[in-house]
Structure 1
Amino acid sequence: MRQIPMLSTRQGKAYGQLSLPPSALFGGLMVCLAFGLFIGPWGCARNPVSGRPEAVLTSESAEIEQGNRLAQVIESEMGLVQNPGLEAYLSQLGQRLANHSPRANITYQFRLADIPEANAFALPGGRIYVSRGLLPLLNSEDELAAVLGHEIGHVAARHSVRRQTASVPLAPLRIAAALGGATASIVSPRLGQLVAGLGQLPGAFAMAAYSRDQEREADRLGQQIAAAAGFDPMALSVFTDTLAREDALNKKPERGHSFLVSHPPSPERSVSAEEYAQGLTIQTELPAPLDRKAFLRHFDGIVLGQPALEGVFVDDRFLHPELGIGFSFPPNWETSNTDSSVSARSPDGSADLIVELVAKSSSALEAAEEFAGTVKLKSGPHALRVGQLDAAEASVVVRIRGENSQLALTWFAYNDLVYRFTGIAPVSEFAKVRADFEKSARSFHLLSEAERSDIFEKKLRVVESRKSENLAELGQRSGNQWSLAQTALANGVQEIEQLPPDWPVKIAHEEPYPGPRATLSRTP
């Protein structure tokens, strides 16, 4: 077996030795000396991939601690997929790849992030995440190995630490205060927005994209790692093409920390990955990758898109099966369900309704009175009953965007949680929407069994094709909820392609949500 040339000075296993010219080593030392004027006690370290000395701001132990603290916040905010079998499979595959990392002295951990967008990312020190939304786009174990290998490459090369160091000459005081990139999302902007907003993080971490050189380095390292672990390094090129198709199909804007902004353009990246893979040799003495059927079996049943446990809209109604509540918004208002609130905006944009969880309490009136202690109310608060629930009402006039706006506030207490409805409109427009605000607030109720039967969520299912069947025919037979274009994308085929018999095909299937039944509890 031919040795796979690695970007490493370490010898042994499947790694070749990369000799560095004296000028390169001298250049690295000069960088350390120059950066020493800014970074004081942090000093230099030898990069585990290139072998070159480089200026760093963070020791390895501090890097690991940084990643651990960041992981606690990220996991509490976005959650992890609770699927022991899938978690075990991802961890097993990740460790098989990590065994071939040029940085083997740290512990790699692999987790499934419960976010619907397609994404994968690494934190400092070895924590690697794959999103639930990435799984439907994968069509082989080789492709998943390529994604994980890429993230291992970022960790191995200490790219997060090097990103922080790169800005030292421009902003030494900012770096000295421990500001700088801690993680970067691979595909989706959502994670970037999440991390950027976590002001409570130690060191005030900020979002930053990897440089294109770092992305290319991670691609090559990932391909080397995948080949050494027995996987096809060409899969990175294939999956990059899939991501480009997905971006074009969904017409995602290029903004923030999206894949196309923080990575090289997909065609260039795909061609580069294909060319590089041709020079690598796959280790054949290891177990072969899973076939398509066995691989996709791991993903059968995962939730697609927004999970029902976070609440769903059914026409103008919002139903939350986990909290056991429901309410309605005015017809034709634009609705939204985010991590912090559920809201609706009037067609002309002049009025908003916002529903939030605001307190842990059994008393709506107490929550309203606490709010009254922070602002001068126009009226209230006063207690009332809405159906089976204790409630309270108040109103206040505030200055918003240079004009007086009136807020209609209603609090509800249920199962030791307090919800607040806030209707907002300019004072001059308030009378027109007052009835809408009141009707929506008074629609707050406990879910009925009939309403629970209206709650569905989409799940990924794997069905096998029949003889001479095409994708459209299979979709019609199986009740597929994806469009033909989305189904073709998810399965890596063309829309008009005739399928081989008994070929596993991923579809989206709408299924009833088997959530818990909440009961009304009262505090004496």
Structure 2
Amino acid sequence: MKRTTPLAAIMLLVYLLFNSCAKNPVTGKNDFMLMSKEQEIAMGKQSDPEIKAFFGVYEDPKLQAFINEKGQQMAAISHRPDLKYEFKVVDSPVVNAFAVPGGYVYFTRGIMAYFNNEAEFAGVLGHEIGHITARHSAKQYSNAQIAQIGLLAGSVISPEFAQVADIASTGVQLLFLKFGRDAESQSDKLGVQYSTKIGYDAQEMAGFFETLDRMREQSGGEEVPTFLSTHPDPADREKKVAKEAANWKKKTDAAQLKVNRDSYLRMIDGIVYGDDPKQGFVEHNVFYHPELKFQFPVPSQWTLQNTPQQVQMAPSDGRAVMMLTLAQGNDLEAAARTVLQQYQLSVVDSRRTDVNGLPAVVMVADQQQQQQEQGVRALVYLIQYGQNIYNLMGASSLADFNGYFQVFQNTMAGFSVLNDPDKINRQPRRVRIKTVQQAGTLAQALGNRGDQKKMDELATLNGMALNDRVEKGMLIKVIE
């Protein structure tokens, strides 16, 4: 059936296109923009507590003081010094840094472990501040709003789509904004400019991109560092940054530009590397949570994302999702009512049972859609253990549900109490800074620290090759 586009939506679209321009603080040119400065700030204030709750803030006062000091120093010389900036290291092992509108910048402990000097850090810090000063997030939001208006005007999507996405799309990827190459190139240039202006050698920023590329190569391209996956990386990006840094060196006293390798390495001595076992970890396709003392099997070939708020799992094709969260309610019945209301589900089947000795409620429930094939069906296990009620939910389309049912049930029915002392007392791996005792190669200085893959990982962590020369007294990283 042919649908007509509402006149009011067309008029709104025309009005927005011709009346929503704002001067870009970096370029001085007019950009299409629906978001005001006040709205940017409000969005950042709203997002900040959600992001901190999602990841957790990394507990290291000296590291938090460092990122705030350098961030405020750089913000003051940026194109938007009037914003109230906040800088934080969040407790995530992924290698990433990101910014949200209004002046909020976040670095993961994962990326902090891979920097080898302050200058590398400063270049990436400038890149992220550049996204804010050039209003890339605000511009992307504005473009998305126009696209949404166009879709609604043409009646292409139904309002219920957002309800489906709420179950299927909950994950860390929603916090990361993906920018086009032009925006990334502009932020790279701003990273060079800002880091040079506060006294750092921006050539080191180019070197860090090389480290990230090596991480990708060592994984065979299967595990791309998140900083690269959310920041498109042209083949010549490193060369462009190096050229830009050389140009800025000509504008300043190059001899005064800092790298500060040793001071940075001493500061990150002891930083947690990889997953922190106390927050949960996967071993041999089983997820263990030492503090809450539970475990459950993870489906083979499924990707797992663990955060303080939830554990989420999904197959590579994205046709299903499983997640574990804490349910609200004083008893199983109250928790069931809350879950049904929260996700707007209607019960198909429900029963009381026990899961490995723990009382539980099992439900099959649907999220109704106007068209049956667009519906979502979920298997829900609510399990009472100690003072908590755990909500394990597996969801897929109605068409796919039967194919995933057994996978969902194997994981949920496998939830059990963790008693193994080895898992409960598991300690995190940490970056340790060692002093080279004798001149030679990096490989010789590292000694025998595992197989070739682990040695290559250590070389990349140090931003060096295994056959690179190191001198007596030089600081290097190891994992202990």
Task: Name the TM-score, length of structure 1 as normaliser.
Answer: 0.67
Residues 480, 507 of structure 1: 8 Å contact kept: no
**1:417 is the counterpart of 2:388:** yes
Deviations 1:453-508 (A, max 9, x none): 3x232211111222034333433466799712111111121122232112111122
**1:471 is the counterpart of 2:442:** yes
Residues 326, 447 of structure 1: 8 Å contact kept: no
Structure 1 residues 293-312: aligned runs within 5 Å:
293-312=262-281
**1:247 is the counterpart of 2:211:** no
Residues 150, 219 of structure 1: 8 Å contact kept: yes
Name the counterpart of 2:456.
Answer: 485
**1:359 is the counterpart of 2:330:** no
Bigger mean CA deviation after superposition, 499-508 or 311-320: 311-320
**1:391 is the counterpart of 2:359:** yes
**1:270 is the counterpart of 2:238:** yes
CA distance in 2, matches of 1:151, 1:84: 22
Residues 423, 437 of structure 1: 8 Å contact kept: no
RCO higher in structure (CA 8 A, sep ≥6): 2
Aligned length: 432
The alpha-carbon deviation at position 302 of structure 1 amounts to: 1.7
* Secondary structure at the counterpart of residue 76 of structure 1: helix
Residues 118, 134 of structure 1: 8 Å contact kept: yes
CA distance in 1, matches of 2:388, 2:147: 48
The alpha-carbon deviation at position 101 of structure 1 amounts to: 0.8
Name the counterpart of 1:348.
Answer: none
Residues 231, 283 of structure 1: 8 Å contact kept: no
CA distance in 2, matches of 1:234, 1:252: 25
Residues 208, 463 of structure 2: 8 Å contact kept: no
The alpha-carbon deviation at position 283 of structure 1 amounts to: 5.0
Residues 64, 125 of structure 1: 8 Å contact kept: yes
Residues 369, 381 of structure 1: 8 Å contact kept: no
Residues 365, 391 of structure 1: 8 Å contact kept: no
Deviations 1:250-281 (A, max 9, x none): 23359998726743414x11111122222223
Residues 327, 339 of structure 2: 8 Å contact kept: no
Per the alignment, do residues 193 and 255 of structure 1 end up closer, same or farther by CA in structure 2, a change over 3 Å counting? farther
Of 49, 52, 59 in structure 2, the residue corresponding to residue 72 of structure 1 is: 49
CA distance in 2, matches of 1:161, 1:408: 38
CA distance in 2, matches of 1:307, 1:452: 12
CA distance in 2, matches of 1:50, 1:121: 22
The alpha-carbon deviation at position 93 of structure 1 amounts to: 1.2
Of 454, 470, 474 in structure 2, the residue corresponding to residue 499 of structure 1 is: 470
Per the alignment, do residues 241 and 130 of structure 1 end up closer, same or farther by CA in structure 2, a change over 3 Å counting? same
* Secondary structure at the counterpart of residue 278 of structure 1: helix
CA distance in 2, matches of 1:251, 1:84: 36
Structure 1 outlier segments of 4+, above 6 Å: 167-171, 254-258, 285-288, 342-345, 352-355, 368-373, 395-398, 406-410, 421-430, 478-482
Per the alignment, do residues 386 and 487 of structure 1 end up closer, same or farther by CA in structure 2, a change over 3 Å counting? closer
Name the counterpart of 2:161.
Answer: none
Of 76, 81, 88 in structure 1, the residue corresponding to residue 58 of structure 2 is: 81
CA distance in 2, matches of 1:175, 1:216: 33
Identity of aligned residues (%): 26
CA distance in 1, matches of 2:98, 2:378: 41
Residues 365, 411 of structure 1: 8 Å contact kept: no
Structure 1 residues 192-211: aligned runs within 5 Å:
194=171, 197=174, 209-211=178-180
CA distance in 2, matches of 1:134, 1:256: 9
Unaligned runs of 5+ in 2: 1-11, 154-168, 367-371
> What amino acid sits opposite 2:274 in the alignment?
G
CA distance in 2, matches of 1:45, 1:175: 25
Per the alignment, do residues 422 and 146 of structure 1 end up closer, same or farther by CA in structure 2, a change over 3 Å counting? closer
Deviations 1:408-458 (A, max 9, x none): 98754223212367899999999x999x959x95772253645423x2322
Deviations 1:60-93 (A, max 9, x none): 1112112222223322222221211100011111
More helix by share: 2
Residues 154, 218 of structure 1: 8 Å contact kept: yes
**1:280 is the counterpart of 2:244:** no
> What amino acid sits opposite 1:235 in the alignment?
E
**1:56 is the counterpart of 2:27:** no
Per the alignment, do residues 102 and 174 of structure 1 end up closer, same or farther by CA in structure 2, a change over 3 Å counting? farther
Per the alignment, do residues 375 and 141 of structure 1 end up closer, same or farther by CA in structure 2, a change over 3 Å counting? same
* Secondary structure at the counterpart of residue 469 of structure 2: coil
Per the alignment, do residues 475 and 303 of structure 1 end up closer, same or farther by CA in structure 2, a change over 3 Å counting? same
Bigger mean CA deviation after superposition, 368-377 or 479-488: 368-377
